[in-house]
Structures are given as structure tokens and as C-alpha cells.
A and B are shown apart, each in its own frame.
Chain A
């Protein structure tokens, strides 16, 4: 039942949102086409402004992963994470998640395929992936787009968010599926 509702929600969300915006615009006599063009033309410049930041981040993260340094870091952090009760199989996911969304998704998919979607590890990987965010990516492009160079406590807060999400996932999965 819940599954049916959720599937319908994700099918309808965007069309419904567009319909609402356009319909309200029409009712409130907004020149919708002109307004759209006006907003859309800003999009191009913002996207182009973040190219250098994206290139810098992608290059660093890819080199770090391809070289095998990622594996080393995971192995180095393993005892610490094990102490906190995280299964060894999900370490790479936990370490990769703040750095690269697509790589983390790749690792999570791999874990789900190997251990089965309904295993503890499969469920934990699913929840972890949905719970944490690509913090470095978000920081880089959000601050990069406006030229902020000193990030102050934003980095610490972002990583704290990932860490909290990680352990909240572990706790709830232990409790429900453990």
C-alpha cells in the first residue's frame, strides 16, 4: 500500500509542481513565457561559473580513487569504524559518500547486488545512501558559484551531518532489521 502511494507520489510530483506554478502564474496574470525566459537565462551563467570548481573536485577525487589511495584510507579508518559497530563491508560507502555521489551510488548498488537487497548490509547501504549527502560537492559548487573562499564552520557542519546520518542509519537499521 505504502509502496503504491510512494510510487504514485514520485510519478506525479514534478508534473504537479509545474502545473501549479503555471496555473497560478496564469491566474495571477504573470507573463509566464517572459518570466520563464528571464529566470532561465540566469541558469546558464551560474552553471558556467562553477566549471573550475567542478573540474578541481572531479580531478582530485578521481585520482584519489583510481590510485588505490581510497582503499588505503578505508583500511586505515576501519578499526575506528568497527569500534563504532559498522560492518566492514560498508566502510568504502561511508568514506566515499561525502566525496562523490555517483561513486557512492556505485558502491551501494554493488553491495546490494552482492549481499542481496533484503540482507542487513543491503538494507543498511540503502538507508545510508539515502541519508547522507555529497558534502564536498555541495560545498564546492555552492560556495564556488558566488566566489566564497573561506568556508568557516560549514565544512565541519557538513561532515557532522554525514556522520550523524551514518550513525542514525546504523542505529535504526540495527533496531529494525538487526
Chain B
């Protein structure tokens, strides 16, 4: 799937540039894009180190285990194949919490840590496990309490009420998170089996 999307983006982009007579832009953009990818990673190194360092302190202090125990009913439901005491759950919870609080730059390190732990449980390392798909669904649809960036943009643009978007954002993200996790749950538990049986017929 991603193969096709990637191919579509590049081939489509180059073709349209050629048709628009802006082919020289492609060369420049290719090099710029490559550099930007690396620069982004350099920015990430510091953040990753900082947050994973703090996470390790929290883990050794038993904080992660405590939080994991509190949300266990939910994680057992959503991640049935992850053992209830597995460190993956701690990282998943930290990632989701960071997302909810709008700490975008803390969410990525925790998320990558969670993926690493989930990969240890994955019987087919080149294929995403069910738990990984559920985790990514939770991550991309995540509830947001404080859309801090957008509040900032609105303040800068001189809004009379910059925080009026908080309520709608909580509603919309809350709705999409519940909806997507429900779809994933139904797919995993009921629909997939039926779908396979249909195909066999």
C-alpha cells in the first residue's frame, strides 16, 4: 500500500512538473527534501534522548507500572495479545498521555519506544501485528485536550476568543478516537473472520 502511495507521489509529482514546464524544480526539491529529512532527525535526537532518559527514571521509580495498572481494564481489551505487565503497555500509555496533553515532541520518543517493545512480541518481524495496528490507530486519532499550537496561531492572528476551539477539538478528537478504536475492535474480533470465510466460499 505504502509502496503504491510513494510511487504515486513521486511519479505524479515529476509528471505534473514536466507538464507544467517546471521540471527544474524537481531536482532542487529532491535534494532539499532529502536534507530536510536528515535535519528533522537531528532535531529528534536531542528530544529522543531527553524524553527516553526521563522515561527510564520514571520506569525505575515504578511510576509507569503504577499507571499501567490503573488503565489495565482498557489495555487488556485493546491489546489482548500483550501480557498485562509487558513494558510495551507503559510506553503506549506514555505516548497516548503525551498526545492528549498536546506534548507533541514528547509523544514521538514514547511512541517509538512502544513500537520497539511491541516488535519484541511480534512473531513476524516484517509484518505489523494486530497490537501495532491498534496502537497506531489510537495514536493518529488521539484525543486532544489542549490544541496549543492552534491556540497560538489564533492569538497571533488577533482572535477575540482564541480558546473557543478547545471544546470542539475535544469533541471531534474524542469522537474519532472512540470510533476508530471501535472499528478496529470489531474488525479484529468479528468482521475479519467473517470476511475470510466469505472469500473462501
Contacts and interface: CB of A to CB of B under 8 A. Distances in A.
A88 interface: no
A168 B184 CA distance: 18
Given A48-B45, A62-B36, A165-B173, A138 B139 contact: yes
A24 B58 contact: yes
Interface SS majority for chain B? helix
Contacts of B118: 146
A88 to B, nearest CB: 20
Interface string A136-170: 10111111011111111111011011101100110
A90 interface: no
Given A35-B60, A148-B126, A172-B168, A66 B25 contact: yes
Given A116-B157, A131-B169, A158-B136, A148 B150 contact: no
Interface string B125-150: 11110001100110111101011111
Interface in B138-185: 139-142, 144, 146-151, 153-154, 157-169, 171-173, 175-177, 179-180, 183-184
B149 A105 contact: yes
Nearest to A57: B37
Nearest to B101: A13
A165 B141 contact: yes
B136 A138 contact: yes
A38 B53 CA distance: 7
Nearest to B160: A118
Interface string A50-85: 110011111111111111110011000000000000
Contacts of A164: 141, 175-176, 179-180
Chain B contact patch, size range: 35 or more
B57 A30 contact: yes
Contacts of B140: 133, 135, 138, 157-158, 161-162
Nearest to A155: B1
Contacts of B165: 123, 126-127, 130
A96 interface: no
B16 A67 contact: yes
B10 interface: yes
B82 interface: no
Nearest to A162: B140
Given A36-B56, A59-B33, A64-B10, A10 B146 contact: yes
A30 B34 contact: no
The residue in B30, B112, B168 that gathers the most chain A C-beta atoms within 10 A of its C-beta is: B168
B12 A64 contact: yes
Contact of A62 (B32, B149, B184): B32
Interface in B36-58: 36-38, 40-42, 44-45, 47-58
Ranked 10 nearest A-B pairs via Cβ: A39-B56, A130-B147, A43-B48, A161-B141, A117-B159, A67-B17, A40-B53, A43-B49, A55-B37, A63-B13
Given A21-B61, A42-B48, A67-B20, 5 more contacts: A55-B38, A58-B36, A105-B149, A158-B136, A169-B172
Interface of B: 1-2, 5-6, 9-10, 12-17, 20, 22, 25-26, 29-30, 32-34, 36-38, 40-42, 44-45, 47-63, 101-103, 106, 108-109, 111-113, 115-116, 118-119, 122, 125-128, 132-133, 136-137, 139-142, 144, 146-151, 153-154, 157-169, 171-173, 175-177, 179-180, 183-184, 187
